[in-house]
Structure 1
Amino acid sequence: MNDVSTFDWRAHFLASGEDADLPIVDAHQHYFDIEQHYYPWLNDRPLRPFRYGDYSSICRNFLPADYRRLSGRHRIVQTVVIEGEWDPATPADEVRFVESLALHEPTLAAMVGQVWLDREDAADLLRLYGDHPLVRGVRHKPVVTSLEAWREDFAAPGSMRDPRWRDGYARLAENGLHFELQAPWWHLSEAAELARDFPDVTIVVNHTALPADRSEQGLAGWRDNLALLAREPNVALKISGICIQGKAWPVESNRVVVNDAISIFDVSRCAFASNYPVDGVVNSLGEVLDGFKTIVRDRSLADRLALFHDNARRIYRLT
């Protein structure tokens, strides 16, 4: 149920307290048109290894009408479109594509553009994005490694410690852009260094820092590294992307992840997001949103509004 009318759904929810009235700003979703545009990970074969397993089911168009249909009874008032790993040869074209969708989809409120911070075109792209009314930040997934191979001095080319990559990152603040970080939790000490070295740049951590290993040891490592990063005041956390391969959205096993993340970062720095249609590999959009609602149902109305609506509006500077 997408709704961007002038009706004050926030006040209505505070009065009713009903989940159905909770206004949602989906802080992380994607639109794909794989028939008209090239997304290497969706168009190429064979498909790449992926944490959710076989993702052939989402290798198709996903456009505003699809999102509207799948959101069902949930009160989606605004969304933020995150770059969808478009053809890296023409990243600015994705901004133009999303802009064309926004002309006809009033809930599409902002986007995050693709950039390759260590490329020669980074400075020009950042200036272009900084001047664009839809773009609030950029994403470039830094080079990472496995937990087994990671070392304290990890500094591979294209990583968060790569001087060339950091030269591009240093231009974010002057263009009024924040940085969306997608990296597994064992790289968060590098992100903490980045946050300290560039205090004028907000880092928004994607997908809860990827707590895929739900063993006791895996969750302990995730919590410790998340707490290390949470010490930096210029970091926010998107609680999303926590589906588990082969399982319906597991409220009980996800409850500990959601509650620990909120405890570590505080309600004021967390925002829920769907990661749709990517999480559609495992779960429906309704299951993802219902799962978050179930986990925080006992929290105050103000906390629920913050997590589903207010914080995303602040982080993405939405009007």
Structure 2
Amino acid sequence: MSIQREAWLGQNVEEAIDPGLPICDPHHHFWDREGDRYLLDQLTQDLGGGHNVAQTVFIECHSMYRAKGPEEMRAVGETEFVQGISAQSASGQYGSTEVAAGIISNANLMLGDAVAPVLESHVAASANRFRGIRFSCAWDASPEVTAGRSSTPGMLGDATFRAGFDRLQRMGLSFDALVYHTQLGELADLAGAFPDATIILNHIGRPLGVGPYAGRRDEVFADWQTGISAVATHENVVVKLGGFGNVISGYDWHQRDVPPGSEELADTIRPWLDYCIEHFGPERCMFESNFPVDKASYPYTTAWNAFKRVTSAYSDAEKAAMFQGTAVRAYRL
């Protein structure tokens, strides 16, 4: 994150609402890219805004893959990398948050049953924290929408993919599903075919707001509702509430002179969140930061303030589930 971007975010600093509420942030990344670094120091700075973040879960982002060795095994380098950061956090020198208490890495499920050695290597690299994989299946026909790496149309129903998925679930590992809202019906079919698998839907199903979907928010919302309703009927799926700051959502906060405050953010995202909570129930919902991706649009403290504003009328038990309990259970922390 550039100095200029940090200065932009610093124009709208808020104090944390309900700072005592325990939080598990089940979705953030670490990377060290040219001109863009987000490691433990940067996360610790964001965590310092006043919210009570007790644990976090790292989600794969193609970071620190091995430079050598079989192609399918290179992703294990990411688990090794984050396992080291987890140990660094466990020293206590970076605050009380258990950073990367769970690790979700990548493995190519299109290897079919041959993905087993890759999964076993992830487990060996982090026997105490590795919990599952995210293998992006996000695909759209429009060249203006960025497809996930290695994604192809219909992947969720592909027999080879499902053989790999079956191996994953038989090893007791979870699957983070990264799809677009147009693919939610396919995900519902996968969930029905594997009722014993734990599937964690990322970013409320990633409703699109760019390319051919720009300026069609009401239509996208209606299509998304249909998909969410189908997915929610499957008890083995839980949903992450967040991801709105990604520019693919089409809200364009990143282009404004000043980032949005939590009141505006809450008003904007409330219809999406209310619909998810209504259909999944609090016990199958978890709030997420999606940092530093969502940091393109608003600060960390603002994001959690917005989530707390949206849920202000919920019971203490319901808040406890959505802010920590569901994530802790789904990721076996």
Normalised by the length of structure 1, the TM-score is 0.80
Residue pairs, 1:1-319, within 5 angstroms: 19-34=18-33, 60-71=36-47, 72-86=49-63, 87=65, 89=71, 90-106=74-90, 107-108=98-99, 109-119=101-111, 122-131=115-124, 132-142=127-137, 144-146=139-141, 156=152, 159-213=155-209, 215-243=217-245, 244-246=251-253, 248-249=259-260, 250-318=265-333
Deviation, 1:191, is 0.9
- Asked whether the equivalents of residues 130 and 175 of structure 1 are also in contact (C-alpha less than 8 Å), the reply is no
Which SS does the other structure have where 1:304 is aligned? helix
> Could you say which residue in structure 2 is the equivalent of 1:54?
none
| Rounded Cα–Cα distance in structure 2 between residues aligned with 1:189 and 1:227 | 9
| Rounded Cα–Cα distance in structure 2 between residues aligned with 1:93 and 1:161 | 29
One-letter amino acid of the counterpart of residue 121, structure 2: L
For residues 270 and 143 of structure 1, do their structure 2 counterparts lie closer, same or farther at Cα, with a shift above 3 Å needed?
A: closer
Deviation, 1:261, is 1.1
| Rounded Cα–Cα distance in structure 2 between residues aligned with 1:157 and 1:246 | 30
One-letter amino acid of the counterpart of residue 194, structure 2: F
| Rounded Cα–Cα distance in structure 1 between residues aligned with 2:304 and 2:142 | 30
| Rounded Cα–Cα distance in structure 1 between residues aligned with 2:288 and 2:187 | 21
- Asked whether the equivalents of residues 239 and 258 of structure 1 are also in contact (C-alpha less than 8 Å), the reply is yes
| Rounded Cα–Cα distance in structure 2 between residues aligned with 1:142 and 1:218 | 19
| Rounded Cα–Cα distance in structure 2 between residues aligned with 1:143 and 1:210 | 9
One-letter amino acid of the counterpart of residue 111, structure 1: I
Which blocks of at least 5 consecutive residues in structure 2 are unaligned? 1-16, 91-97, 144-150, 210-215, 246-250
- Asked whether the equivalents of residues 137 and 152 of structure 2 are also in contact (C-alpha less than 8 Å), the reply is no
Q: Which has the higher helix share?
A: 2
Which SS does the other structure have where 1:275 is aligned? coil
| Rounded Cα–Cα distance in structure 2 between residues aligned with 1:158 and 1:101 | 36
For residues 240 and 145 of structure 1, do their structure 2 counterparts lie closer, same or farther at Cα, with a shift above 3 Å needed?
A: same
One-letter amino acid of the counterpart of residue 100, structure 1: G
Task: Quote the sequence identity (%).
Answer: 29
Q: Aligned residues, how many?
A: 273
Deviation, 1:147, is 7.9
For residues 227 and 127 of structure 1, do their structure 2 counterparts lie closer, same or farther at Cα, with a shift above 3 Å needed?
A: same
Let me know the Cα RMSD of the aligned residues: 2.3
Runs of 4+ in 1 over 3 A off after TM superposition: 155-158
Deviation, 1:171, is 0.2
Any idea what the Cα deviations from partners look like across 1:235-264, whole Å, max 9, x if unmatched? 000011012322645221111111111111
Which blocks of at least 5 consecutive residues in structure 1 are unaligned? 1-17, 35-42, 44-58, 149-154
| Range moving further from structure 2, 264-273 or 121-130 | 121-130
Normalised by the length of structure 2, the TM-score is 0.77
| Rounded Cα–Cα distance in structure 1 between residues aligned with 2:78 and 2:241 | 25
Any idea what the Cα deviations from partners look like across 1:130-182, whole Å, max 9, x if unmatched? 4522111101001522489xxxxxx9567111222111111012211010001
Deviation, 1:33, is 2.4
Deviation, 1:129, is 2.9
| Rounded Cα–Cα distance in structure 2 between residues aligned with 1:158 and 1:185 | 14
Any idea what the Cα deviations from partners look like across 1:21-80, whole Å, max 9, x if unmatched? 01110010111123xxxxxxxx5xxxxxxxxxxxxxxx5111122111112111111000
| Rounded Cα–Cα distance in structure 2 between residues aligned with 1:207 and 1:147 | 20
| Rounded Cα–Cα distance in structure 2 between residues aligned with 1:309 and 1:182 | 21
> Could you say which residue in structure 2 is the equivalent of 1:15?
none
| Rounded Cα–Cα distance in structure 1 between residues aligned with 2:329 and 2:123 | 18
Deviation, 1:128, is 2.4
- Asked whether the equivalents of residues 138 and 178 of structure 2 are also in contact (C-alpha less than 8 Å), the reply is no
